A and B are shown apart, each in its own frame.
Chain A
């Protein structure tokens, strides 16, 4: 169908996922870490839409819809937790948030 091969889309998706992994590992700001998780969810969405489109099957796009629902819920609860931590410790630096570390 498409003239562009499927591998190109999947490579962009894989690259965005790796960049998201880097962000989660090297960034110290909890909000930016959450944003990097959103980036990884989006790269998974791109792979799902690619397969769905190339196979002519709407199931993949329905899954993308569910992934977006989960991402919205995750962002809402995650940001609420970050605000609660900030009110207690006055920081969102994940190196300084170590109450559970022993």
Chain B
């Protein structure tokens, strides 16, 4: 019980702080590193929620594949930091933060107004069963087989699109 709360506090704090650090660091490489840290904290939160399969996929696909792609592109392009840009555009910064605070207040109001945890009396066994790879695999190949095939086509299209964009000759 108490261990669950301690783990939640640590992982939640890491997720929140790393997301803020990711947006505020001027160097794109530091942003990418903090985003990887954020993904790992999220994987820990998924484990706390009994979603083992999603936690493992999060680390392999997001932290492993997508972030390596991002870091590879950052290495290829060698972009400069954003110190100067952020200093000369203070208005933009304030407007951005203002809109984000509005979004946060809206979502937070909905969360507490609708009180989603009222009336949930599920046993922990059901939650563990929902996160098992066996359950997710069965759902994926029976109820959601059409979206599953569509996502395969989506990946094929994305691969072909990326190759076509990379092959194009510019003068």
A-to-B contact residues, CB < 8 Å = 1-12, 14-23, 25-29, 31-32, 34-36, 38-39, 42, 45-46, 49-59, 61-62, 64-66, 68-77, 79-84, 86-88, 92-93, 95
> What is the predominant secondary structure among interface residues of chain A facing chain B?
helix
Closest to A22 in B: B100
Judging by beta carbons under 8 Å apart, are A19 and B120 in contact? no
Q: From residue A77, how far is it (CB to closest CB) to chain B in Å?
A: 5
Per-residue contact bits, chain B 151-164, to A (CB 8 Å; 1 contact, 0 not): 10011011101100
The A/B interface has a contact count, at CB < 8 Å, of 247
Q: From residue A22, how far is it (CB to closest CB) to chain B in Å?
A: 4
Judging by beta carbons under 8 Å apart, are B151 and A14 in contact? no
Judging by beta carbons under 8 Å apart, are A1 and B139 in contact? no
Q: How many residues on the B side are at the interface (Cβ–Cβ under 8 A)?
A: 88
Cα-based distance from A80 to B9 in the complex (angstroms): 38
Judging by beta carbons under 8 Å apart, are A22 and B126 in contact? no
Cα-based distance from A65 to B112 in the complex (angstroms): 27
Show 16 A/B contacts (Cβ-Cβ < 8 Å), sorted by A: A8-B12, A21-B99, A28-B85, A38-B35, A39-B19, A42-B42, A61-B136, A62-B140, A65-B136, A65-B140, A72-B65, A72-B155, A77-B158, A79-B69, A84-B170, A93-B85
B-to-A contact residues, CB < 8 Å = 1, 4-5, 8, 12, 15-16, 19-20, 22-23, 28, 31-32, 35, 38-39, 42, 45-46, 48-51, 53-54, 57-58, 61-62, 65-66, 69-70, 73-74, 76-77, 79, 82, 85-86, 89, 92-93, 95-97, 99-101, 103-104, 107-108, 111-112, 115-117, 120, 122-124, 126-127, 129-131, 135-136, 139-140, 143-144, 147, 151, 154-155, 157-159, 161-162, 165-166, 168, 170
Q: From residue A91, how far is it (CB to closest CB) to chain B in Å?
A: 8
Judging by beta carbons under 8 Å apart, are B139 and A62 in contact? yes
Contact flag A69-B154 (CB < 8 Å), given A6-B117, A8-B12, A26-B96: yes
Say which residue of B5, B16, B117 sits within 8 Å of A7 (CB atoms): B117
Judging by beta carbons under 8 Å apart, are A66 and B131 in contact? no
Cα-based distance from A10 to B20 in the complex (angstroms): 17
Judging by beta carbons under 8 Å apart, are A66 and B139 in contact? no
- Chain A residue contacts of B131, Cβ below 8 A: 52-53, 58, 61
Judging by beta carbons under 8 Å apart, are B117 and A27 in contact? no
Cα-based distance from A4 to B45 in the complex (angstroms): 12
